[in-house]
A and B are shown apart, each in its own frame.
Chain A
């Protein structure tokens, strides 16, 4: 099976702009989670989508939003970018079966730089 893919891999934006990141999960996986990774804060959970519904949400401002499509692909949007939004954004998918411990498979990430 193909792994989790994320596009684009690198992105440069300026303050005030908005950005959309895309994630394609492993085929058959219905759960997609997003994480922000920075040197100072480590891996912080943004939100998780399952069957097109946001199931879990981390402690991020409303500028961070996401959605999931019927084919399980997910997008994450950040509006009104701030310098502090510069980070590696990781997407992870899992099968979310009832007897599964929900092992997460990670994509390579999108490196966002805000100038």
Chain B
């Protein structure tokens, strides 16, 4: 079984500042990793994914994440945030060769202040 921990439930930041949202996972097998974003009153939208290959993954809206196998982490970063980035962010892990269901973290609320 796999698990996901998002270390911060809420991250406040000022506009144009950099941000990092942390995600750690545990799994006994190889994993695929995802970050989703959820805007108010909407479903989840895929930001980026790591399947294999380069450990630095670039996604939509200027976000990127780095897979670190030794630290079992997949932190999400953006060098300069915008007010419109205010949303809930979910990290998810999917065990390759396992069940067809991803495990989601509890979410991190990113709040961007002007």
Please, which residue of chain A has its CB at the minimum distance from the CB of B90?
Answer: A43
Interface pair B46/A42, CB less than 8 Å apart: no
What's the nearest-Cβ distance from chain B to residue A28, in Å?
16
Interface pair B42/A42, CB less than 8 Å apart: no
Please, which residue of chain B has its CB at the minimum distance from the CB of A44?
Answer: B104
Residues of A within 8 A of B96 (CB): 101
**Count the A residues whose beta carbon is within 8 Å of the partner chain — how many?**
25
Could you give, for residues 69-97 of chain B, a 1 whenever the CB lies within 8 Å of some chain A CB and a 0 otherwise?
Answer: 00000000000000000000010001010
Interface pair B51/A101, CB less than 8 Å apart: yes
Q: What are 18 A-to-B residue pairs whose CB atoms are below 8 Å?
A: A31-B100, A42-B90, A42-B104, A43-B90, A45-B101, A48-B100, A50-B100, A56-B100, A56-B101, A90-B43, A96-B100, A101-B49, A101-B51, A102-B94, A103-B46, A104-B102, A105-B46, A108-B43
Q: Which residues of A contact B (CB under 8 A)?
A: 4, 31, 33, 35, 42-43, 45, 48, 50, 55-56, 90, 92, 94, 96, 101-109, 111
